[in-house]
Amino acid sequence: MGFVSIEKYLGESWAYCLFLGEKDARKISKEDVESWWNFQLKRFEDKLISRETLRKYAECIVGFYQFLENLPLKKTPQRFEWIQLPKKPRPQLEQSLPSQADVKKLIEAVFLDGKRYSIRDQAILALLNDTGCRIGEALSIRNGHIREEGNYLVVSFPESKSMPRTVISFLAKQFLENWAKVSPNKSAGPDAFFFCQANGSSCSYAAVIKSFKRALQISGLSWKKGKSVHYFRSICSSRFFNWPYTLKHAWFGWVFRDHEAAYTRISHQQFVEVYFETLKKENNPFLSEELPFWSEEKIDQALIEKLLQQDEFRAMVRRMVRQAGNKF
């Protein structure tokens, strides 16, 4: 279990204790448990949380009491044995995924002038959108796990519930670089948390969710209920749907369906072509309108064309031509 998962589970245990109020958690009755469970069921029925989240809440509280009462991991405390999850809801027609223009509007709404950590939260959400990583994977990144290569960043996720891996990022590059310039850990060495708090410790899950919810309200975007920032993973995987099977599974850290793929090691360089081809085809609004990004030759050509628009550069070129002509 990653540290973000532990934080979430501890947070839910604390929320459970707050729900009980002044009651001793070790002496609660079945009625107290029913009251808490009915409250969570109501949230599920109102589509504020998913069935999967409801299941995790139940597991969390069972684990809390296993620890509290020193029970074996497979032993369910008696007061919780009656709890049953509702049946899985029938699949419904999915709403359209937010477009990249929508996501850009959302991420722009995160920034607050004069608030340094809104720059951090922008970078986190931009990375989730660009790579489809899990929030825990993003928050596990240290300074040494991000480096520049060519015109993109190489990003490694050292902690994952499925598969630590290395990917690339271009859409989030500007946001990540903006945060790196003002981060309290910018000179703290490669092992310091990249997404950090003022004291240098890892950014909390709750802080990201707070910024996300505020930006969602400001932007007025429609977002799937119960998904929160994990919805970025759905958005990214849908955009990368046509990628080759092995590359897609290696990128998202999914379980492979065959032994050949499972034992294959994918280098981040193997993502470059399909990644940039995707950005090029969708004409992603996060891209700079001034310069092409998919070819170093085209970048060089575009730079030369922009420089030729400047009088000083044209004069310099004429001098170089005359000097070269005098030598021949």
- Report, as an integer, the average pLDDT of 20-24: 79
On the question of pLDDT at 156 being above 90, the answer is yes
Mean pLDDT value across residues 240-263:
83
Task: Work out how many domains the chain is built from and give that number.
Answer: 3
Q: In the chain, which residue ranges form alpha helices assigned H by DSSP? A: 3-20, 30-45, 51-68, 100-110, 116-131, 135-139, 173-182, 205-219, 231-239, 245-252, 259-262, 272-282, 296-307, 311-327
Question: 181 and 205: one domain?
Answer: yes
Are 150 and 259 found together in one domain? yes
144/52: higher pLDDT: 144
Residue 58 lies in a domain: yes
Same domain, 11 and 73: yes
Distance CA 133, CA 175 (A): 16
Does residue 314 lie in a domain region?
yes
Asked if 150 and 253 sit in the same domain, the reply is yes
pLDDT > 90? residue 319: no
Dihedral pair phi/psi, residue 13, rounded to 5°? -65, -40
Query: What share of the chain has pLDDT > 90, as a percent?
Result: 45
**Structural domain containing residue 266:** 100-282
| Nearest by Cα to 79 from 25, 40, 39, 19 | 25
Domain of 172, CATH number, reads 1.10.443.10
Query: Taking a C-beta distance cutoff of 8 angstroms, is the pair 106, 219 a contact?
Result: yes
Which span out of 56-65, 196-205, 226-235 was modeled with the highest average pLDDT? 196-205
pLDDT tier at 5, thresholds 50, 70, 90: low
Q: Which of 22-26, 201-205, 302-306 has the lowest mean pLDDT?
A: 302-306
Domain shared by 257 and 318, yes or no: no
Cβ-based neighbour number of residue 157 at 10 Å: 22
One domain, residues 136 and 240 = yes
Let me know if residue 85 belongs to a domain. no
Are residues 312 and 222 part of one domain?
no
Q: Cβ(4)–Cβ(139) under 8 Å?
A: yes
More confident site: 144 or 62 = 144
Q: What is the pLDDT of residues 111-133, one digit of tens each?
A: 999 899 999 999 999 999 999 99
- Weakest-pLDDT range from 87-96, 291-300, 310-319: 291-300
Least confident piece of the model among 104-108, 180-184, 213-217, 292-296? 292-296
Provide mean pLDDT across the span 254-264: 70
113 and 256 together in one domain: yes
Question: What mean pLDDT, rounded, does the chain reach?
Answer: 85
Q: Which pLDDT does position 18 carry in this prediction?
A: 78
Q: Do residues 144 and 267 both lie within one domain? A: yes
Q: Are residues 112 and 180 in the same domain?
A: yes
1 pLDDT exceeds 50?
no
| Predicted local confidence at residue 6, as pLDDT | 54
Distances (CA, A) of 304 to 43, 87, 288, 308: 58, 63, 17, 6
Residue 211: is it exposed, middle or buried by C-beta count within 10 angstroms (0-12/13-18/19+)? buried
Q: Does 87 fall in a domain?
A: no
**Phi, psi for residue 158 in degrees, rounded to 5:** -75, -20
Q: Among 98-107, 181-190, 287-296, where is mean pLDDT lowest?
A: 287-296
Decide if 291 is inside a domain: no
pLDDT, one tens digit per residue, over 32-84 is 888 888 888 998 888 778 888 888 888 888 887 888 888 887 788 777 888 88
Residue whose structure tokens are 């340094």: 116
Query: How large is the average pLDDT for residues 268-280?
Result: 92
Q: Does the residue 114 lie in any domain?
A: yes
* Interior angle at CA 299, CA 293 and CA 301, nearest 5: 150
Residue 51: the pLDDT is 84
- For residue 218, give both structure tokens: 């400001």
Give residues with Cβ within 8 angstroms of 181, minimum separation 6. Answer: none
Tell whether 89 is covered by a domain: no
In-domain check, residue 123: yes
Asked if 66 and 75 count as a contact pair (C-beta separation under 8 A), the reply is yes
Closest CA to 231 of 139, 106, 327: 106
Position 2 scores a pLDDT of: 46
Neighbours of 272 (CB within 10 A): 16
CATH number of the domain to which 42 belongs: 1.10.150
Same domain, 139 and 244: yes
User: Residue 325 pLDDT more than 90?
Assistant: no
> 29 or 286, which is more confident?
286
CB 110 within 8 A of CB 118: yes
Regarding whether 58 and 31 lie in a shared domain, the answer is yes
Q: Report which residue type is found at 124.
A: I
Average pLDDT, stretch 292-319?
A: 73
Sign of the CA dihedral with 131 first, then 114, 98, and 151 last: negative
